[in-house]
Amino acid sequence: MRWLFVWAAQGCIFALSGFVAFLLRFDFGLPQSCLRYFVYALPVWIAVKSVIFQASNLNRWGLRYVTIADVHRIVIANCAGSLLSWAIIVYIAPAGFPRSIYLIDLIISLLGTAGLRVVVRMVAEAIHGGQGIGQEKRTLIYGAGDAGITLLREIRNNPKLAYHVCGFLDDGLDKKGLLISGIEVLAGGDEIKSLVTKHNVAIILIAIPSATGVEMTRILELCHAAGVESKTVPGLGEVVEECGLVGQIREVAVEDLLGRNPVRLEVGRIREVLKGKVVLVTGAAGSIGSELCRQIARFQPAGIVGFEIAESPLFEIDREMKQRFPQIPFYPEIGNVQNRARLDDVLRQYRPTIVYHAAAYKHVPLMETHVFEAVENNVLGTYNLALAATKHGVEDFVLISSDKAVRPTNIMGTTKRVAELILLALQNGRTRYVAVRFGNVLGSNGSVIPIFKKQIAAGGPVTVTHPEMRRFFMTIPEACQLVLQASAVATGGQICVLDMGQPVKIVDLARNLILLSGLKPEKDIKIQFTGMRPGEKLYEELSTLLEDTIPTEHEKVRIFVGNGVPEGNVHRWLDELRDLCAARDTGRLMIALKEIVLDYSPSADLLRRVVEATDHRPHVSVLERPHIGHQAEAPIC
């Protein structure tokens, strides 16, 4: 019925345009002698234009969804119809047909066919726009660019959406006062407060997918200062993966405030590395390990082995993987990287091609009080896995390292640095050993984000160690994607460093999280400074002055290349570290770590505990130990 209506309406327009063209040509007094021309032309115009519009599929389009692209096609169809009609009329009609009628008919036909659709759309929008007025939230769209216009169009086309757009906000001075789709660009963000009051606005939709973290933070603060709710829309990449822009309007997340651009992955290269291979992930139930499993599953491996010491989290990731990726075999294996026999069992059974070693003790203050456990797990456990990997034919071994390995001031960072040196020394041409360094990841277990959220939920205060404390941050998916990218780029015997962007002040992160919770810092939720914890730095670094970076094909991955240290030194270090852990001698263990990592600066808290322990053993000096010699750390150049 809709098709018949469109066809009949267009036929009437074609007939009427021809009739009006004749009337206009002869000043509304059609001579009897020209009537025969009209009789020849009218059937041709109706038939030819109807056929061309049908062939162009113009009769099948919804009238109320006309766009500029549709009008462009209507122009082409009318021109084609007029040209073909002219050729037929010249051939069949008597001589003397007035030529100006062809042009007049084309103009009237074009205005009529395009105008029909525009009128239908206007009526439909007026009808739907009148429905639900009173229940809709009065809305401002922040951003008068492509995303904002697309958002406005979707709001108008969907009568179920509870938004009534009152205007645009945009910081571009050249846009102020413009009418976009009938909606005025009212002002920039600095005038939000007055506009919210003037127009009784309930919500602001932020449609600036390209906004930086600083810009998003400013917009969020302006919205909160105006006492109005704010939400955001995703970038084009998220829209393509999902469906539609309006359906993805969501709360502003802390990730938006970082302003990090989406990762560009060399998908083909990563697929070459992973497709059809068995991959083992240690620490598979942790924040990084579990996301690695999810990301790896996208590249069709032959199977994923999840090696984890924590039973319940391993059970959960096993369920998730089998539900989300039923076509990818997932093998949960309980075990400890400190148990060499268990590692041999698992590697012998599954024969993995690639190992991602994410299992580690990572909490800085906790490791300052558990020195032996940190060394046994992060150093000796890594060495056990590295040896087992080369024994069982693993081709690629990737260590998840940390920015805290650079000029370490804590046990956690020092053990990570020792683990890096071990891998560089073990590079033997069979297994390719690679370490990947990055900073903090948002939302990982025990990181500041979950802690801050719990403190906000409890009514505060939010505790920050120092006003100038800064850290590098990235999201868990981004970190894991770049780990896969780095492992595909590196060739072995290298330390890869991921682009972490600019460091973020922890106190700013705390304030932004309070704002995202709909509260005001210092007024609703207090921020309390508690002092730096043992082993903490004010600033983290990703490379040392002794290291020289080499760019790779990927803009977010750089490589440190060097010879590392002789393998003989590593075996001597490991034997001594193992003995000192067994003897539970903290003082000598610190000295041994200092001789391996020359730029390690032990924390005052740890030194104090060593001195206090020594005072209780007056006959044993910290310095009374076999001298293993000062092995200069080879620069990783």
pTM: 0.62
Q: Are residues 22 and 151 in the same domain?
A: no
Last residue of a domain, one of 73, 103, 129: 129
Residue 305 covered by a domain: yes
DSSP for 42-71, written as a single string: HHHHHHHHHHHHHHTTGGGS-GGG--HHHH
- Asked if the structure places residue 15 within a domain, the reply is yes
**Residue bearing the bigger pLDDT, 14 or 377:** 377
Same-domain status, 179 and 108:
no
Is the pLDDT assigned to residue 413 strictly greater than 80?
yes
pLDDT in tens, 318-362: 999 999 999 999 999 999 999 999 999 999 999 999 999 999 998
User: Does residue 530 belong to any structural domain of this protein?
Assistant: no
In this predicted structure, which of 57-71, 110-124, 339-353, 463-477 has the lowest mean pLDDT?
Answer: 57-71
Greater confidence, 615 or 256?
615
Q: Does 32 share its domain with 113?
A: yes
pLDDT of residue 606: 85
Residue 393 lies in a domain: yes
Residue labelled with tokens 């400074």: 529
> What's the token pair of residue 114?
């395009």
Of 38 and 341, the one with more pLDDT: 341
**Domain boundaries, position 97:** 2-129
The domain that contains 178 carries what CATH number?
3.40.50.720
Q: 376-400 as b/e, with b when 16 or more CB fall inside 10 Å? A: bbbbbbbbbbbbbbbebebbbbbbb
Q: Supply the DSSP symbol for 525.
A: B
**Contact by Cβ (8 Å): 330, 293:** yes
Q: What is the pLDDT of residue 622?
A: 41
What kind and span of H or E run contains 229? strand 229-232
* Residue bearing tokens 């007024």: 523
pLDDT tens by residue, 419-444: 999 888 887 778 889 888 877 666 55
Query: What average pLDDT does the segment 175-184 reach?
Result: 81
Question: Which of the pair, 49 or 209, is modelled with greater confidence?
Answer: 49
pLDDT the model gives residue 47:
86
Q: Does one domain contain both 163 and 67?
A: no
- Could you say which DSSP state residue 377 is in? I
Which candidate in 49, 277, 362, 404 is catalytic? 404
| Per-residue tokens: 115 | 């105008």
**Residue 637: per-residue pLDDT:** 28
Q: Is 404 a catalytic residue?
A: yes
* Residue 618 maps to a domain: no
Say if residue 430 is in the same domain as residue 302: yes
Domain assignment present for 82: yes
Q: What is the mean pLDDT of residues 119-143?
A: 69
> Position 370: which residue type?
H
| Confidence band, pLDDT 50/70/90 cuts, at residue 626 | very low
Number of domains the chain contains: 3
The answer to whether residues 494 and 363 belong to one domain is yes
User: Residue 290 pLDDT more than 80?
Assistant: yes
The verdict on 321 and 198 lying in the same domain is: no
* 215 in the same domain as 170: yes
Q: What mean pLDDT comes out for the span 274-290?
A: 92
Whole-angstrom Cα distance, residue 241 to residue 342?
41
Q: 150 with 283, same domain?
A: no
Q: Is residue 271 located within the same domain as residue 394? A: yes
Indicate if 183 and 84 belong to the same structural domain. no
Of the candidates 563, 625, 565, the one whose C-alpha atom is nearest the C-alpha of residue 592 is 625
pLDDT at 235: 52
Interval 533-591: pLDDT, tens: 776 667 666 554 345 567 767 667 777 755 556 566 788 889 999 999 999 988 899 99
Domain boundary among the residues 209, 228, 252 is at 252
Predicted local confidence at residue 612, as pLDDT: 78
Confidence of residue 631 (pLDDT cuts 50, 70, 90): very low
Q: Check whether residue 86 and residue 149 sit in a common domain.
A: no
Contact by Cβ (8 Å): 361, 383? no
The most confident of 60-64, 128-132, 600-604, by mean pLDDT? 600-604
- Comparing 170-174, 391-395, 435-439, 533-537, which segment has the lowest mean pLDDT? 533-537
In a domain, 594, yes or no: no
88, 108, 129: which is the final residue of a domain?
129
State the pLDDT at residue 537.
Answer: 67
pLDDT of residue 302: 94
Give domain status of residue 37, yes or no.
yes
Reduced to 3 states, what is the DSSP secondary structure of residue 497? strand
